[in-house]
Structure 1
Amino acid sequence: MKSLMKKVFAAAAAIATVFGLAATTVATANAADNATLTVSTTDAKFAGKTVNAYKMFSATVSGDGKAVSYTLTDGWKPFFKNSTFDGLTGVTDENVNDQANAYVSKLTGDDLVAFATKASNWAQTKTNNVTAGATARVSNNATDGKYTATFNNLDYGYYVVAVPGATLANANGLYATLVSVHSTQTDADIKGDLPTVDKKVQVNGTDKKNATDAKIGDTLTFTLTSTIPDMSAYDTYTFNFKDTLSKGLTFGQVTSVKVEGVDDPLTVDTDYTVTTPTAPNNTLTVAMNDFKTKQQANAGKKIIVTYTATLNEKAVVGGAGNVNSATIQYSNNPSTDGTGESEPSKVRVFTYGFTVDKYTGDKYDEGATRLAGAEFTLAPKSGTAISFVQVTAGSETENAVYRVAKAGETGTTTTITTPANGKVVFQGLKNGEYTLTETKAPAGYNKLASAIGVKVDGQNNGTDTTPATVAINYNNDNGSDYSQEASNGVIPVQNKSGVTLPSTGGMGTIAFTVIGVLVIALGVAWTLKRKNA
């Protein structure tokens, strides 16, 4: 009996030792959790954004790190019990852990992508009461081209990692990272995209571009293009186009809001509302109404806003142009009803000018005599004279300034007159060829025998702080060979003075001489006659 009891106690001790070792192994694995997860992206749009990690499964790892077992967390059980996944049926409270493990372990390719999308949406839906187990923030600056967010002291587990609001326009796209954290250091990529807007401009039906040129008074057409996001995680969704116009643009009207592939345009005040620009911000807002209800079915399609604006008298001439910037204001957190704003998309509208410097003399320099009173017209090549508004009359020290007139503006003129310093500035022109005609020369000077051809060629493909490169070239016979360059945009225009034409007889002097001789002769004759009397 004593021998049997010794064997029983020995066996019990052995069993206890085995379980003790097992417990030690698990405890060691758990104690070593303190995992670090680093997620990264090369996309600057994510800089400064919040990243959430939702633990779907907890994990235990063997001491050698070769074996991992997962246990479904309580908060995620309704996700598997109540969702309709192909191949996942008969889930109960008793088997949900095994069913979930088996289902997820078999997912690959597009099925895994679709699962990640659904899991991310479900986790972020307020009514499901799932909170992020950890939160990190993406760095504002890139290191080796990557923006990173680091989660420290994570428990081992299987995580859904998502940036709130980062829903791809394509509802089948991947916008959440599924990652198994079962070692002390794990790296993964940030998935998904954020709403963006692409702004373009066109003049007179030309191709849509990031930059264009126009003359004051021209009407331009702007398009704002974005993509309808997947809004599954949201009860309601804010989606607003916000466009800040430069002071050089006068808003016209929103001409259409359309969804790609949908025949009928959206209706103002029903599908969207318009807030027109006002000082000082000059911001146009096109706010979508009940966006999720009306447009969730169109997730992945483009939505395009088109509006018009006119280049006005406040337009910047040359320089970095007239910069206009558009953004999307969008819902970025299903749990808080918060909103974010996309990176701005900018376009620039350029308008140009040049200066005429009227002088006389054989040498063109600072010491040359400048001429006031010369009158000119400026017209597009083979076109009619352009109407201008005088901005500055000019003086002996100040240039005269004329800008292109807007349609219907009063106090306009087609005649441009040089001031005392001889210099007149033409402003508000677009690229093209022009004819500069002197219609009246200053008193005492000969009018130009031919009009002057002028070519304006401004180019800029840089950033919104990069000045335009403007070439002003001209010729003195109004031809098509613009071989002379206007230094600093100044065209010297010479007038030659008139001269007194030579005479051939001097008849007036001869007549006075004859009369004088006759007077003298008559006087002598009269004197002699008195003496003889």
Structure 2
Amino acid sequence: MKHKSKLFGLLAIITMLVPLFVGGISGGAEEGAPPAVSDTEPSTINMVLHKKEFDSMPKLTENTGELMEFKGKGLNGAGFTAYNITDFVYGLIKDKEVADAAAAITKAQEVAAEIEKGSSIKIGEKTYESLTKMGSKVGDEVTTAKVDGEDGIAKFNGLAYKTGDKHSVYMFIETTIPDNVSTHAAPLIVSLPLTNKDGKYLTTAHLYPKDVTFTDGKDLKTDGLQVVKDEGANKAEHIYGTEVGKEHDFTFKFTIPAKIKDNISYGFTDTPSAGLELVVPAAGINSAVTITPTTGNALVPGTHYEIVKNTDGGFTVDFKVNEAAVQALAGQTFTASYKMVVTDAAEEYQEFGNKITVKVGNQTYPYEAPKLIYGGYKFIKEDQNTKAKLAGAKFVITKRGAAADNALKFTKSGTKYVLDATGSTELVTDENGEINVEGLEYGNYDLHETVAPTDYIKLDAPVQFTIAPDTAEGATLIPSKTVDNVKKGLLPSTGGTGIIAFLAVGAALMAGAFIWYRKSKVNEEV
């Protein structure tokens, strides 16, 4: 039996066998202090768990027996429960279920992992369907928290070095998993005695279980879109130009949390601001959002999850967490793909977008995509001389330099013309002489007059304008431009006292010429 105890003591158990964490075992009262060791075998040992979180699991690292440094952050809120499984492990060897100590530890991990999944496993005549069948709980669950300035610490003090006449074997199970964890630590098993590199007994062991926290992310396909504002690495704050009626591709990459196996509710909601709405194909809402796995089989709407379109134009996906097939997906990564169409509900020159909110139980996690923006313009048609507002003038709008027969199409909505590929090209000034257009992408455009008001001369050149916010001091949100027309039969005014003064001077000159002519005629007759 003494020989078997030595074998247990020499195992680098978790580091070698479990890919979901690196079990570090070393001695030390505090970081930087000499290891807490003893020349003689102690009666108890303290075990300190340093819970770490990562975006992805780091490479396995062989333990040195000292306090270790990892780049991962300490993770608070993870609950661990300790079990004394000494009799279970030694019993495997005694009953010749396994060949040696290493195989016994491997088998213990296998059994515990199956039980965590909700399954059972049979060994010999015994069936193990609960962790308490493997061993007895040691105290209450301990939750990781900040201790002495370090996050993710859980301490188990005063654990017995021996159980009966055997060196103890302890198993630590993550029994409370934080909501944002996609892959939690596998069963962590430690056998005693533990010694450092000098052969001294450790009286404190430091263990490093690790979780992978999900790094969900929402994105907008920006290929070919005009960059209006670039915020560098903060992509969610980027702004891209768009126009009403344009459809945009959005994606949401998510990882199903490990906690879903506890039947905790899980899903996500897309919430658009005014100006975006989910595109629902003729086949229905289930075809509007496609969820595909990074590897493996696709999720099936109605079987694995439900989709509902919301009144704000967004949608909600709720997973059927009580389904075994869904629980088996814990830790797997998926991508939700869908389209949203730009509507005229946004304010011109005001950014708009949408966000995804993931809900795990009662906890929420928001993610935002890059923003979109479009603009508008106001034209005022008036008499150049009297400044009277002119109704009934007809125009079309084109991209800068395009011919009038390539005009953009609009639909009248209230007092505004909204860009609409199925609408009409014709824009007509109202009783106030105004045309208001909205939903245009940032850029340069031309306004072509096609029909002038009655008795007015039609413009022979387009009016150039630019869709961009007016940043001048005191400027209104929507830029505007006055478009003048001249009545037929009148010369255009050049300013000063106006055409009336011009006509008065002309009449005086003509009268003077007539008088001169009459006088010269009288002189000729004399």
TM-score bin (small chain):
0.5 to 0.7
Between structure 1 and structure 2, the one with the greater Rg is: 1
Match of 2:441 among 427, 430, 433: 430
TM-score of the aligned structures, taking structure 2 as reference length: 0.53
CA distance in 2, matches of 1:443, 1:147: 82
CA distance in 2, matches of 1:242, 1:147: 35
Deviation, 1:387, is 1.2
Task: Name the counterpart of 2:337.
Answer: 306
Give secondary structure in 1 for the equivalent of 2:369. Answer: strand
Tell me the SS of whatever aligns to 1:344.
strand
1:250 aligns with 2:313: no
Q: 1:192 Cα deviation (Å)?
A: 1.5
Tell me how far apart the structure 2 counterparts of residues 500 and 185 of structure 1 sit (CA, whole Å): 102
Alignment partner of 2:380 out of 358, 363, 377:
358
The aligned residue for residue 519 of structure 2 is none
Post-superposition shift, 1:452? Answer: 3.4
What is the rounded CA distance, in whole Å, between the counterparts of 2:111 and 2:446 in structure 1? 66
- Tell me the distance in 2 between the aligned counterparts of 1:300 and 1:25: 41
TM-score by length of 1: 0.53
* Amino acid of the structure 2 residue aligned with 1:390: S
In the alignment, which of 385, 401, 417 is matched to residue 429 of structure 2?
A: 417
Which residue is equivalent to 1:66?
none
TM-fit CA distance, 1:167: 8.6
User: Per-residue deviation at 1:321?
Assistant: 0.9
The answer to whether the Cα contact below 8 Å between 1:254 and 1:307 also exists between their aligned partners in 2 is: no
Q: How far has the Cα of 1:415 moved from its partner?
A: 1.0
Q: CA deviation at 1:164?
A: 0.5
How much has 1:369 moved relative to structure 2? 5.0
Whether the aligned pair in 2 keeps the contact of 1:375 and 1:439 (CA below 8 Å) is: yes
| 1:385 equivalent in alignment to 2:385 | no
The residue identity in structure 1 corresponding to 2:490 is T
Provide the residue aligned with 1:466 in structure 2. Answer: none
Overall identity of the aligned pairs, in %: 17
> Partner of 1:344 in structure 2?
366
**Aligned partners of 1:175 and 1:443: how far apart in 2?**
84
Match of 1:270 in 2: 303
What corresponds to 1:467 in structure 2? none
Q: Secondary structure at the match of 1:234?
A: helix
Deviation (angstroms), 1:91: 5.3
Residue among 492, 496, 505 paired with 2:481? 492
Provide the C-alpha distance between the structure 2 equivalents of 1:312 and 1:286, rounded to a whole number of angstroms.
26
1:27-176 equivalence runs, <5 A: 39=51, 50-56=77-83, 73-74=84-85, 78=88, 80=89, 90=93, 99=101, 127-129=130-132, 133-136=140-143, 148-151=151-154, 154-155=157-158, 160=172, 162=174, 164=177
Cα distance, 1:453–1:120 mapped onto 2, change above 3 Å: farther
* 8 A Cα contact 2:390 2:453, kept in partner: yes
Structure-2 change in CA distance of 1:283 and 1:384 (3 Å): same
Retained in 2: the 8 A contact 1:248–1:314?
yes
Distance 1:120 1:184, change over 3 A: farther
Give 3-state SS (helix, strand or coil) of 2:325's partner.
Answer: helix
- The answer to whether the 8 Å contact 2:185/2:210 transfers is yes
Q: Report what 2:253 is aligned to.
A: 225
What letter corresponds to residue 414 of structure 1 in structure 2? Answer: E
**Could you list the runs of 5+ residues in structure 1 that have no partner in the other structure?**
1-21, 57-72, 83-88, 105-110, 331-338, 393-400, 458-469, 474-485, 510-533
Q: Structure 1 pair 26/243, CA: closer, same or farther in 2 (3 Å)?
A: same
Checking the alignment, whether the CA contact within 8 Å between 2:451 and 2:458 is kept in structure 1 is: yes
Residue by residue, what CA displacement relative to the aligned partner does 1:506-532 show, whole Å, maximum 9, x if unpaired? 9xx9xxxxxxxxxxxxxxxxxxxxxxx
Aligned residue for 1:449? Answer: 460
1:522-533 matches, within 5 Å, as: none
Shift of 1:285: 1.8
Superposed CA RMSD in Å reads 5.7
CA-CA distance at 1:358 after TM superposition: 3.0
Of 176-185 and 427-436, deviating more is 176-185
Partner of 2:355: 325
**Please, which runs of 5 or more residues in structure 2 have no aligned partner?**
1-37, 56-71, 119-128, 161-169, 195-200, 227-234, 492-501, 511-526
Equivalent residue for 1:285?
A: 317
> In 2, Cα distance between the equivalents of 1:205 and 1:292?
43
String of CA shifts for 1:40-64, please: whole Å, max 9, x gaps: 6698x999962112225xxxxxxxx
Q: 1:316 to 1:81 in 2, by over 3 A?
A: farther
CA distance in 1, matches of 2:108, 2:347: 52
Separation in 2 of the partners of 1:204 and 1:355? 26
Contact 1:221 1:309 in 2 (8 A): yes
Is this contact kept in 1: 2:384–2:486, CA < 8 A? no
Number of residues of Structure 1 aligned to a counterpart in Structure 2? 386
Distance (Å, rounded) in 2 between the aligned partners of 1:203 and 1:348: 9
Match of 2:197 in 1: none
In 2, the alpha carbon distance for the partners of 1:47 and 1:318 equals 43
Alignment pair present for 1:404 and 2:419: yes
Deviation at 1:372, TM superposition (A): 4.1
Code of the residue aligned with 1:198 in structure 2: it is G
